[in-house]
Amino acid sequence: MASSEEDGGGNGAVEEKENGKKKKKLGALATTWLIFYNVAMTAGWLVLGIAMVRFYIQKGTHRGLFRSVQKTLKFFQTFALLEVIHCAVGIVRTSVLVTGVQVSSRIFMVWFIAHSIKQIQNEESVILFLVVWTVTEITRYSFYTFNLLNHLPYFIKWARYNFFIILYPAGVAGELLTIYAALPYVKKTGMFSLRLPNKYNVSFDYYYFLIIVMFSYVPLFPQLYFHMLRQRRRVLHGEVIVEKDD
C-alpha cells in the first residue's frame, strides 16, 4: 500500500507514505542496531528478573534484594538513555519529550533515590517498582525485537498494549511511596542541599525538590498513560491517529 518513498534525512530511516500517513522505514544499519539494542535490553531485564526470583526463593525475604541486583539495574536502566537519542536522531518514531520524561524519571529513581538513600532500599515500595519495571521491560523490549524481525507473536503484542493498564499505576505507586519514604532521611541529613550563605549565593533544598517531583507526577503521568492508551488503540484496534508533521 506504500505509495511513495523519499530519503529520510541521513539517519538510516526512509520516509514512506502509507494511506496518506508518513511512516518511517528503517535502513539496514538502524534496524541492525535496534535489534542489537533491544535483544541486549531484553536479556538484561530477564537477568534482573531471574536474579530477583532466585534471591527471594533462597532468602525468603525481600530485604537485601535491591542491594543484590542494583548493579544490573543501574547498568540497564542507565543504558536506556540511548532511547532518547534514538528518538532525537529519528530512528524511532516516538516523541523525544515523552521518552525523555519516562527515562529521566527512572534514572532519577535509580540514582538519586534508591542508590543515594540506603535506608529506603528495603522498602516494599522499592520491590513494587522493581517488579513492575522488570515485567514491563521484558515485554516491551521483546515486542520491539520481534516487531523488527517481522515475527511478532500476538500474545507479546497483546501483553505490550495491555499490561501497562495495571503496571503503569502500580509502578507510579511504587515510585511515589519510595520518594515519600525517603523524605524524612533527606530532611534529617540535608543531602544534596545547598544552604545560604555559600560562595555561589544559591540555595537548594532537596527535600522540597522531592516534594515538587512528587507533585509533577500529577500532570506528567496522565500524559504518558494516555499516550500508551492511544498507542493501544492504534496497534490493537487499528485506529488511525492523526499526528502533526514534525
Is 137 labeled as catalytic in the residue annotation?
no
The stretch among 120-128, 182-190, 199-207, 223-231 that binds ligand L7CU2Q4V (CB under 6 A) is 223-231
How far is residue 88's CA from residue 94's CA, in Å, rounded to a whole number?
9
How far is residue 37's CA from residue 31's CA, in Å, rounded to a whole number?
10
The correct pick among 11, 78, 116, 147 for binding ligand L7CU2Q4V (CB under 6 A) is 147
The stretch among 51-59, 118-126, 196-204, 221-229 that binds ligand L7CU2Q4V (CB under 6 A) is 221-229
69 lies in the site for ligand L7CU2Q4V, by CB under 6 A: no
Structural contact between residues 47 and 72, judged by C-beta atoms closer than 8 angstroms: yes
Catalytic residue among 83, 137, 175, 206: 175
Q: Which amino acid is at 12?
A: G
CB nearer ligand L7CU2Q4V, residue 62 or residue 106: 106
The contact pattern for ligand L7CU2Q4V, residues 160-189, with x = CB under 6 A and - = no contact, is ----x--xx--xx--x--------------
Spatial CA neighbour of 93 closest among 161, 41, 23, 34: 23
Cell of 180: 515519600
Strand partners, 204: 194
What residue number has its CB nearest to ligand L7CU2Q4V? 171
How far is residue 1's CA from residue 3's CA, in Å, rounded to a whole number?
6
State the DSSP H helix or E strand holding residue 232, giving kind and residue range, or none if neither.
Answer: helix 206-237
How far is residue 214's CA from residue 208's CA, in Å, rounded to a whole number?
10
Q: Is residue 246 helix, strand or coil?
A: coil
Minimum distance between the CB of residue 25 and ligand L7CU2Q4V, rounded to whole angstroms?
9
11 lies in the site for ligand L7CU2Q4V, by CB under 6 A: no
The correct pick among 14, 43, 220, 229 for binding ligand L7CU2Q4V (CB under 6 A) is 220
The correct pick among 11, 68, 72, 102 for binding ligand L7CU2Q4V (CB under 6 A) is 102
Is 175 labeled as catalytic in the residue annotation?
yes
How far is residue 108's CA from residue 80's CA, in Å, rounded to a whole number?
12
CB nearer ligand L7CU2Q4V, residue 127 or residue 172: 172
Q: At what angle do helices 82-89 and 28-59 cross, to 10 degrees?
A: 160
225 lies in the site for ligand L7CU2Q4V, by CB under 6 A: no
Which residues are part of the catalytic machinery? 168, 175
